Structure 1
């Protein structure tokens, strides 16, 4: 699959499609090609960073994200992604600073709040994470993943009935059963939420793998 290198929109669509298939390296190459030909495209630098984060290479996402931030200092997206990138390389102080700055720029954005919430959860602050996720889930634009992150955090605290109710809003019965089985086993293993390293998208699969 190839895109016209001079067509930024086509290049970014290709990068997005490749990310959707888990082709992180190819996605990075497609996005990087756009950044070379369109160095004023913040979206291109964001897509390049997303590909690196998706591959688990947060270090390589930092420079593209700072380039994207420099192009629009009022855009919350580079900062929120910087938080994820810094988490991946365990630079937690910088991750927290990035998340907090993103929240200041977009205080009512569910994605920003959800990323900050999962960072708090990773620090062992489940109550703080729950508060942020409840706020995020109540806002316009909140998606399934935000609700399922809340279900995950509730379940890791042993509050299975609440978690199940949230899961049933979005998931098929077999997925609910599987997720509850996981949560109960994880809770029995330890009543304290284990640290959750950053994931490119906070999917159940990523959270399960990271939380252990």
Structure 2
């Protein structure tokens, strides 16, 4: 079973730190587990509830081949982007950002390159830089909902939930009812202690045809944070076996119990207000 701290993302993750919810919140951000991509949906407190659904790593041979092509022709944008994506997929975030930085320097007006670079910076925890790059990755005249969603994630990571929610709202005007945006918005509401709004938004997200297990995971996490563990378990059981769903609900219970512990007991937490974990749905 995949339990606490593993990103429910499109690539494997490694544990960075475990942070407790400051209120009862979840997932976008800074939190528990390391591997994620900024564009998208998250998990609460570093919990990964997706069981064995995580895709495999890119083969080492493929990365070596991409690296060889990149070294022989760094100006090949398509190959460089594929190489950076493979590096991110194998949790080599700093290297991916370094590759994309060079591509961006050679192609400073390429919006796709800037978007990838900004997301990579956010993936590596370099949020201020990510915010600056993502701002240039699209324009008011031609906004990109994926970039807006990534900007929202960065805002959530830095604690500016009101700005994050305005960015998700702007993204939804371009892509109405897109479950990835709705999921991020729901998580942002949870971060700002609006669990009712979080549940409503995530229920709308899971009702969309394109919603996947990760979106349902976020709803289950919010339900768990509201103390509705049986309902959370039923949601998780749609994608996990009964035993695995039950075990993950126990993990949510433990997280909620730790959150409600006396403040003195929580003082040892290195960053008690920032414990979210985003996942990538690209």
TM class by shorter chain equals: 0.7 to 0.9
Cα drift, residue 77 of structure 1: 1.1
**1:155 paired residue number:** 224
- Give the structure with the larger helix fraction: 1
Q: What secondary structure, in the 3-state scheme, does the structure 1 residue paired with 2:211 have? A: coil
Cα drift, residue 92 of structure 1: 3.0
Cα drift, residue 196 of structure 1: 5.7
**1:201 paired residue number:** 279
Unpaired stretches in structure 2, ≥5 consecutive residues: 1-63, 261-271
Cα drift, residue 87 of structure 1: 1.8
Task: Map 1:1-212 onto structure 2 (within 5 A).
Answer: 1=64, 2=67, 3=70, 4-70=73-139, 73-172=142-241, 175-190=244-259, 199-201=277-279
Q: Point out the more displaced range, 124-133 or 70-79.
A: 70-79
Q: Point out the more displaced range, 182-191 or 46-55.
A: 182-191
Task: Give, in whole Å, the separation in 2 of the partners of 1:38 and 1:200.
Answer: 28
Question: Considering only aligned residues, what root-mean-square deviation do their CA atoms show, in Å?
Answer: 2.5
Cα drift, residue 189 of structure 1: 4.0
Cα drift, residue 151 of structure 1: 0.9
Note the alpha carbon deviations across 1:130-155, whole angstroms, 9 max, x for none. 11111111112212111111111111
Contact map agreement 1:16 1:27 (CA 8 A) in 2 = yes
**1:207 paired residue number:** none
TM-score (norm 2): 0.64
Contact map agreement 2:161 2:192 (CA 8 A) in 1 = no
Cα drift, residue 121 of structure 1: 0.5
Unpaired stretches in structure 1, ≥5 consecutive residues: 204-212
Task: Give, in whole Å, the separation in 2 of the partners of 1:126 and 1:11.
Answer: 41
Task: Give, in whole Å, the separation in 2 of the partners of 1:97 and 1:58.
Answer: 18
Question: How many aligned residue pairs are there?
Answer: 202
Q: What secondary structure, in the 3-state scheme, does the structure 1 residue paired with 2:139 have? A: helix
Cα drift, residue 8 of structure 1: 1.7
